[in-house]
Amino acid sequence: MLWLYVMALGIVAGIAPDAGLSSKVDYLSRTAFSFIVASWLVADARKRREPLCYDYDSFAFFAWPVVLPVYLFRTRAGARFLHCSVLRASGWLRCLRRWWYS
């Protein structure tokens, strides 16, 4: 699902690179990304039979930049920290792209 999100965002950004994303598309993009990250986190916890607190998915949706690294360190002892780094880098690249075209 994350690859589909990245492809869709690339297509939308490629169609109108000078105009940038409208505020509605930007809001939908941020919401979709948070939803994908929270869904993956909860699905991974179920697969690994990790106990999560009640309503952890909502917490992960709103605070994924903090929750995701903590979850990855707790469950994988740093082995998958690369995934978190890639997600973080994609956020920074998005900010740089926005700054470059403004």
Supply the pLDDT for residue 18.
63
Digitized pLDDT (tens) for each residue of the chain, 102 residues in all: 667 777 777 777 677 666 666 778 778 878 888 888 888 888 988 898 888 888 888 888 898 888 887 887 788 766 566 666 776 677 777 766 776 776
CB atoms within 10 A of CB 91: 13
Supply the pLDDT for residue 2.
67
Two tokens at 48?
């690994």
- Nearest CA to 64 out of 92, 30, 98 is that of 30
Q: What is the pTM of this model?
A: 0.64
Cβ-contact 38, 57 below 8 angstroms: yes
Q: How far apart are CA 72 and CA 4, in angstroms?
A: 22
- Nearest CA to 3 out of 101, 71, 95, 83 is that of 83
Q: Where are the beta strands (DSSP E) in the chain?
A: none
